[in-house]
Chains A and B, each alone.
Chain A
Amino acid sequence: MNQTSFNSLKTLDKCSLGEECHIITLQGKNKLLCKKLLSMGLVSGTVVKVISRAPFGCPLKIEALGYQLSLRLSEAEEIEVAV
């Protein structure tokens, strides 16, 4: 793995608004959450982007596979993405 791609690895909650990235892995601390996200299509390789934040800063609204869903920051933290 080269240096640049390593640098661009982060968790989804750290992404800036509108930044397109693809999922590397679901970290799996919260099995229930990961299982649900997997079945909703957030599998490795899926392109996601954070669209907006709620007025109080959390949760996030993200887009994947052409639909939108809300995720709390702690939940977005479980998704590892690459830009």
Chain B
Amino acid sequence: MKSVNATADSRTRKIDPHLIDCEKNVKNLTLQIKSNQLQDGRLKKIFLIGNPNSGKTTLFNALTGLHQKTANYPGVTVERREGKALLQQSHSTGSSNKTVCRSTNEPLQQEVIIIDLPGIYSLSSLSLDEEITTRHIMGFYDGTLPDAIVLVVDANNLERNLYLATQILDLEFPAIIALTMNDLAEKRGFSVKKELLSKQLGGIQILEIQAQKSQKKGIDALKAELSKKLIEPEKISLPSFLWLCEKEDFQHSSGDITTLPDKLQSWSSKLKLEKYIQSTSDLSEKRKKALTTFFMLELLSDSGIEKFFTIPQSELSGFHNEIINFKGALQNSYKLDPFSFESTKRYQWISSIIKTCCAYTETSRKAVTEKLDALLTHKIAGLVIFAAIMFLMFQSIFLWASYPMEIIDASVGAGGEFIKNTLPEGLLRSLLVDGIIAGVGSVLVFIPQIGILFFFLGLLEDSGYLARAAFIMDRVMRKAGLQGRSFIPLLSSFACAIPGIMATRTIPSFADRLTTIMVAPLMICSARLPVYTILIAAFIPNIPLLGLFSLQGVTLALLYFAGIAGALAVAKLFKVTKLRGEPALFVMEMPPFRAPSLKLAIFNAYERIIMFLRSAGSIILACSVLLWFLASFPGETVQTSFAGMIGRAIEPVIKPLGFNWEIGIALLASFAAREVFVSSLATIYNLQDAGEQGTTLIEILKVKFAAGEIPLAAGVSLMVFYIYACQCMSTLAVVKRETGSWKWVLFMFGYMTGLAYVMAFIVHSLVKNIL
């Protein structure tokens, strides 16, 4: 018993930090829950619910257009999409291509909020996605139940999609089934008799939807039906699968002849479940019954639903004891395995429905995907194609993006120059040029890389290749405690960690995603190259090695290698310590191949750029102004500024690494962007040796190196420091955006700085004492 309590407890505690805000919401809004009746002025809420890859997001885009906002759920990496749509009752039935008339005088128009919930396979609450979706449906998110639900059902995977759909239909919500990708299913020889299916599912409306921009179909009809639904929700009476259980010959060994649904009801009232489900207070008896039956089923099948309830400590052990008793009763009297019986029976029931209302004729269509798959995941050909695609993608963000980036740089430079020439010298000019314009520049400069990467990712995901890429790389990445889907984000991080970290949103597991985000900045990004070019040229002699290589080239390669090795080690370490206990699965659906949509890929890139500008952009700009302030006040030059003071103050700390205070200031300044190190160190040294203005940093460093002022050990130590140190505020801003919490930002900054310090210290002492 104790152990059951303990596991339940630890699980609750594990997930809770991410969902603290939900909990708060639930508590704060208890009063509001009391009136489940719609208040005037509140927009009605419609949920889109469906399996992953069911076409949910495409439908969401078609319904809301650009009137949508994307954010994260508080504290977690799961994305929240919400948008507004205008519903209108139209007289056209079935599919219609007519555009909706947007006349504001139309009395039947209604604005509603559409919420695209995370794609899930069932209502159990074991994964974060499931938990968020289920909390929304059950009124445990903000205390309100949905006004209507659109169940997005992929015709290609009818059986599996109906599993979730019927789970929700059992709860008696006003709902409509949006049948997606029916054309694709028909091409594969699978046809659905919609009327028959609707009849089998208690009369629910089934609308065929084609949400792709080029050939929209059924969207207006769906809007019209939703609008009707909101006015008078019709009753659906679905013959729940539980009644199917009844038909089977239950052995009531104890002589108890209570039916299973009635039994579940009596158990739930024994547990006083109703008082935990506050959103039910104003519901009809029938709905209450449906909800409590659902919760009882979930409690019996270990699906983690108990974390929704706040059970007083004193009642906790009694609660768990009762559940164990009920499970025993289910096993003994009803001969049902509590863990699996719902899934097994429900799938049997769905399978029998499908047999009656779907037809399948074999076609050659399926063979195409099979053949393509055989090639693309082939031992040799598959790897070659994979390498080629990855090379193309990397090349594009590393090299092609550099042209627009140069243009942005030049324009920002010209803008600064213009202001320099128009405004008189002074604080305002300095703020505008070195603070704000430089800050805007450092935000804009990321746009090409983000845009190109997400354009590619959009194509890869839409075509179905992204899943294959993860499939190919999983074994290799797993050795490091990561998974197949971590590969592309980490590869992209060699160009820049910003798009790389943003690309981790294709990783479904929270633990895997967080680990990938945490190690992504350890990959040597292109912003480090200017620093390394200077340092290597100054400290490493250009000696040929084995005729083919040079010592300088080998040094650079070693730095890349050290970055990768560090990332792998850190990922492994995270896996066995901090993030253990959330076992990550690699159960990944492999969608059939299809021609990717160019429009969708462009939209994807656009959306990510906007999201970056909106949330990370402001933080980067603010940091840039802050750094400007630190470097300009008080006094004229960087040495006399706050930055200079801090640089001097930290000298004792960085001395063991071989750094002097000049380097300290440059390190601080380069927090804006790593390449700033070069210009700030040059400025500092140039100011010192006023006579030798205009000498490049390489020359200065070479002189200092020859004079023994900066020994080799310090130079190498600096290179190592730059591998591991988190010298990039933009990365931290994006981590804040992606994880939704400052906690992980601080964690990343802390561990990377610590790692950089230790590694630089070790290398410094080694080089100093050995060479």
Q: Taking beta carbons and an 8 Å cutoff, which residues of A are in contact with B?
A: 26, 28, 30-41, 43-46, 51-52, 54-59, 61, 65-72, 75
Residues of B at under 8 Å CB distance from A?
A: 121-122, 124, 126-127, 156-157, 159-160, 163-164, 190, 301-303, 339-340, 343-344, 347-348, 370, 373-374, 377-380, 382-383, 467, 470-472, 474-476, 478, 484, 583, 585-590, 592
Contact partner of A66 (CB less than 8 A), chosen from B157, B164, B347, B475, is B157
Residue pairs across A and B with Cβ atoms less than 8 A apart, 6 shown, are: A36-B121, A41-B343, A44-B344, A55-B377, A66-B156, A67-B156
Q: Which of B122, B124, B340 contacts A44 (CB 8 A)?
A: B340
Give which listed residue, A43, A59, A69, A71, contacts B343 with CB less than 8 A: A43
Q: Are B587 and A56 in contact (CB under 8 A)?
A: no
The number of A-B residue pairs with CB atoms under 8 Å apart is: 120
Evaluate contact between B474 and A39: CB separation under 8 angstroms. no
User: CB within 8 A of B121: which of A30, A33, A39, A57?
Assistant: A39
Q: Pick the residue among B121, B347, B471 that contacts A46 (CB under 8 A).
A: B347
Q: Flag if A59 contacts B373 (CB, 8 Å).
A: no
B124 contacts A39, C-beta separation under 8 Å = yes
* CB–CB B590/A68 < 8 A: yes
Please measure, in the bound complex, the distance between the C-alpha atom of A81 and the C-alpha atom of B373, giving whole angstroms: 25
Smallest CB gap from B582: residue in A: A32
Given contacts A40-B121, A55-B379, contact A61 B471 (CB under 8 A): yes
CB distance from A75 to the nearest CB of B (A): 7
**How far is B341's CA from A26's CA once the two chains are assembled, in angstroms?**
12
Partner of A37, one of B301, B476, B587: B587
A75–B393 CA distance with the chains assembled, in angstroms = 31
Which of B343, B379, B380, B585 sits near A39, CB closer than 8 Å?
B343
Q: How far is the CA of A32 from the CA of B377 in the complex (A)?
A: 28
Residue of A nearest to B479 (CB): A56
In the bound complex, residues from chain A placing their C-beta under 8 Å from that of B475 are: 54, 56-59
A57 contact set on B, CB distance < 8 A: 475
CA distance A59 to B474 in the complex (A): 7
Cα of A65 to Cα of B586 in the assembled complex, Å: 19
Residue in A closest to B185 when the chains form the complex, CB atoms: A66
Q: How far is the CA of A28 from the CA of B339 in the complex (A)?
A: 9
Contacts A36-B585, A69-B588 known; list 6 others, CB within 8 Å: A40-B587, A41-B159, A54-B472, A59-B474, A70-B470, A71-B587
CB neighbours (8 Å) of B380 from chain A are: 55
Q: Determine if A38 and B340 form an interchain contact, defined as CB atoms under 8 angstroms apart.
A: yes
Would you give the shortest CB distance from A23 to chain B, in whole angstroms? 10
Does B163 lie within 8 Å of A67, measured CB to CB?
no
- In the bound assembly, the distance between CA atoms of A66 and B370 in angstroms comes to 13
Q: CA of A56 to CA of B590 in the docked complex: distance in angstroms?
A: 17
**Smallest CB separation, A82 vs chain B (Å):** 16
A69 to B471 CA separation, bound complex (whole angstroms): 10
List, in ascending order, chain B residues with CB within 8 A of A38's CB: 340, 343-344
- Given A35-B303, A54-B472, A54-B474, does the pair A41, B163 have CB atoms closer than 8 Å? yes
A65 in contact with B157 given A39-B163, A40-B121 (CB within 8 Å): yes
CB atoms of A43 and B467 under 8 A apart: no
Asked whether B157 lies within 8 Å of A30 as measured between CB atoms, the reply is: no
How many Å from the CB of A36 to the closest CB on chain B?
Answer: 6
How far is A51 from B303 in the complex, measured between Cα atoms in Å?
30
A26, A56, A75: which contacts B340 (Cβ < 8 A)? A26
Q: How far is the CA of A54 from the CA of B634 in the complex (A)?
A: 61
A24 to chain B, nearest CB (A): 12
Chain B residue at smallest Cβ distance from A31: B302
Tell me whether B377 and A52 are in contact (CB under 8 A): yes
> Is B474 in contact with A35, judged by CB distance below 8 angstroms?
no
Shortest CB-to-CB span from A26 to chain B, Å, is 7
Partner of B126, one of A32, A40, A52, A72: A32
Q: How near does chain B come to A77, taking the closest CB pair, in angstroms?
A: 13
Nearest chain A CB to B478 CB, angstrom units = 8
A55 CA / B370 CA spacing, docked (Å) = 16
